Amino acid sequence: MLKGFTHLANWLTYDVLGFAEGSKAGDAVAFFLEDIPKMFFLLAVMIYIIGYVRAGVDAKKIRDFLSGRNRFVCYFLAAALGALTPFCSCSSIPLFLGFAAARIPIGITMAFLITSPTVNEAAVVMLGGSLGWGLTLLYVALGIGAGVIGGMFFDAIGADRFLDLPAVEEPKQCACSCKKSEPQQMSRHRFALNETRTILATIAPWVVVGIGLGAALHGFVPEGFISAHLGGGEWWSVPLAVVVGIPTYANVTSIVPVAAALIEKGLPVGTAFAFMLPAAAASVPEFIMLKKVMSFRLLAIFAVYLLVFFTLTGWILNFAY
């Protein structure tokens, strides 16, 4: 079915708009017209499914469930929950605050928080559509693994002593009605449909901008330019990409197409991911929000852990691909 988007984009670009096949502008336009409907279709399907499932979940029940299980299992479940964090006002930070307020062990809350900004359904869908599902699944496994290992690490160092728990507030009921009490099928459908509309409307500009940048890289950056300057695979190229990506903060839906275009132009997979992950996950607003409940020392440890994870992920992906 996805091949239909390619045929449609080629027809619109070369037959309707009259661009010459093989031209730089034509390649860029075809790339843009193919990825726009494909990405929005994949995102709509995935967001609806996640919203439908999430409509039947009570946040307090999640916290109770996690606090009553084996610690290692809780790390994994919290990291998996982080990977499914939706794009809405009751996203990762408020839920993290709720975990902290419920006095769930710090390692479990950190496992959620580590995975949440680096792995989510939109990134998975867009990466799968752009780079293939094998690489995408490896990326998901590394992200969840980082959450589990991070949970163990933060429990081991007793990071709860760096939390200002009295300042934590329970997350308020958000406009998208995240707390549902055993909703009926139609109610869950309406919730998922509304969430799909809301989320797509919110991220649509980022998706368009990201795909536009990716299309420009695809069409106008000469073949071999990226590989000649950054594609040698030297060990230092990965931490350099991390450093460059830190100030390049962007929504994950805008940075994924850019990373895909860089890979297509010859940048090693791991180096591209080392740039993408901090750009999408090392959010200044996120750290400002976390300062409400974390000391500066814990924030610094958290930041260093993320940067180490980004670098190791880049090296592992470069080795694997």
How many domains does the chain fold into?
1
Token pair belonging to 284 = 């200044």
Residue among 63, 56, 307, 55 at smallest CA distance from 196: 55
Please report, for residues 96, 100, 115, 207, 302, the alpha-carbon distance to residue 305 in angstroms, rounded to integers and kept in the order given: 18, 20, 12, 28, 5
Q: What is the mean pLDDT of residues 129-141?
A: 84
Confirm whether 169 is domain-assigned. yes
Confirm whether 12 is domain-assigned. no
User: What is the per-residue DSSP string for 203-224?
Assistant: HHHHHHHHHHHHHHHHHHSPTT
Give the highest mean pLDDT range of 100-104, 124-128, 259-263, 309-313.
Answer: 309-313
Cα angle 207-238-121, degrees, rounded to a multiple of 5: 30
Confirm whether 13 is domain-assigned. no
* pTM (2 d.p.): 0.63
- Three-state DSSP class for 139? helix
What is the rounded (10 degree) CA torsion for 99, 171, 175, 127?
A: -40
pLDDT-based confidence at residue 155 (cuts at 50, 70, 90): very high
Token pair belonging to 170 = 């329970």
Give the pLDDT of residue 153.
94
Token pair belonging to 118 = 């680096």
Residue 207's contacts (CB-CB under 8 Å, 6 or more residues apart) are 36, 39, 40, 43, 253, 254, 257
Confirm whether 153 is domain-assigned. yes
Give the highest mean pLDDT range of 2-11, 175-184, 244-253.
Answer: 2-11
pLDDT-based confidence at residue 154 (cuts at 50, 70, 90): very high
Task: Indicate whether 240 pLDDT > 60.
Answer: yes
Residue pair 110/163 in contact (Cβ under 8 Å)? The answer is no
Which residue segment(s) compose the domain that 127 sits in? 22-320
Give the pLDDT of residue 47.
73
pLDDT-based confidence at residue 258 (cuts at 50, 70, 90): confident
Conformation bin of residue 103: beta by default, left when phi > 0, alpha when psi is -120 to 50? left
Amino acid at residue number 173: Q
Amino acid at residue number 312: L
Please report, for residues 57, 64, 83, 160, the alpha-carbon distance to residue 79 in angstroms, rounded to integers and kept in the order given: 17, 16, 6, 18
Task: Indicate whether 187 pLDDT > 70.
Answer: yes
Give the up-direction half-sphere exposure of residue 232: CA atoms within 13 A in the CB hemisphere. 7
Q: Which residue has the higher pLDDT, 145 or 261?
A: 145
Q: Which residue has the higher pLDDT, 273 or 116?
A: 273
Confirm whether 8 is domain-assigned. no
Token pair belonging to 8 = 């449609």
Residue among 84, 117, 112 at smallest CA distance from 98: 112
Among 69-73, 247-251, 292-296, name the one with the lowest average pLDDT.
247-251
Q: Which residue has the higher pLDDT, 227 or 256?
A: 256
Confirm whether 250 is domain-assigned. yes
Token pair belonging to 166 = 């009295």
Q: Which residue has the higher pLDDT, 97 or 200?
A: 200
Q: What is the mean pLDDT of residues 88-115?
A: 69
pLDDT-based confidence at residue 149 (cuts at 50, 70, 90): very high
Percent of the chain beyond pLDDT 70?
69
Percent of the chain beyond pLDDT 90?
6
Confirm whether 77 is domain-assigned. yes
